[in-house]
Structure 1
Amino acid sequence: MGRALLFLVIIGLAVYALADVATSDERSRHGIPRAAWLLIVLVPVVGPVVWILSSRAGRRSDGGPAAAGPRGPVAPDDDPEFLWRLEQERIRRERETRGGAGEDPRPTDGDVPDGGARG
């Protein structure tokens, strides 16, 4: 019974690795041709394990492919361009609220926040 189970596990591992190689992209194959990986996976136990370890090395923990370089913003509040557009929209709304489209809502030298005292 134990030998049959071991044999089934080895066959299942090979079938899984073959299917994974067949549906893999160039990045997860690390530049090695698909045919070469198919031959490697046919080596009992070692081939499928090598494929699984090498193909998973290029993936993030969430299952997506890992980026080679720096990643972009994850959320809108991490995106500098988005934050800049939000600030521009806020400034535009403030101008409309004040009623003067030509006024700049930011303080100038004449607008001193400490009650008008200059020093």
Structure 2
Amino acid sequence: MARLLPVIVILAAWLYAMVDCAMADRAAVRGLSKTSWFLITILPIIGTLLWFIFGRPRRTAPPTSGSTRGRRPVAPDDDPDFLRGL
């Protein structure tokens, strides 16, 4: 079983990299085109590492609109506007 663990980890990372590449936004992919990155990720170890280091889109904060800036979601029973409508 100990011999299979590295193989399972490599296969899981490879599959995750391929799905992540396929689901990534085309405009957010860094470096090469999305198609090129997908073809690179076909190489199990090298392609996976290259995708995670150089091609994967960077995570950014979600955009905020001006009206909800500084507000956080509130439960309905804590929201004064909701309670007024009851």
TM over 0.5: yes
Measure how far apart 1:31 and its partner are.
5.5
Identity of aligned residues (%): 28
Counterparts of 2:21 and 2:32, CA distance in 1: 11
Q: What is the RMSD of the two structures over their aligned residues, measured on CA atoms?
A: 2.9
1:22 aligns with 2:16: no
3-state DSSP of counterpart to 2:36: helix
1:3 aligns with 2:9: no
1:27-42 alignment runs, 5 A limit: 27-30=27-30, 32-42=32-42
Measure how far apart 1:3 and its partner are.
2.3
3-state DSSP of counterpart to 1:35: helix
TM-score normalized by the length of structure 1: 0.45
Measure how far apart 1:21 and its partner are.
0.8
Counterparts of 1:33 and 1:44, CA distance in 2: 19
Cα deviation digits, residues 7-60 of structure 1 (max 9, x gap): 11111111101101111112332252222111211222221122123314x222
Unaligned runs of 5+ in 1: 66-71, 77-119
3-state DSSP of counterpart to 1:59: coil
Unaligned runs of 5+ in 2: 71-86
Counterpart AA for 2:69? A
Counterparts of 1:52 and 1:31, CA distance in 2: 12
1:107-118 alignment runs, 5 A limit: none
Counterparts of 1:41 and 1:3, CA distance in 2: 24
- The residue aligned with 2:81 is none
Residue in structure 2 matching 1:75, options 56, 69, 72: 69
TM-score normalized by the length of structure 2: 0.59
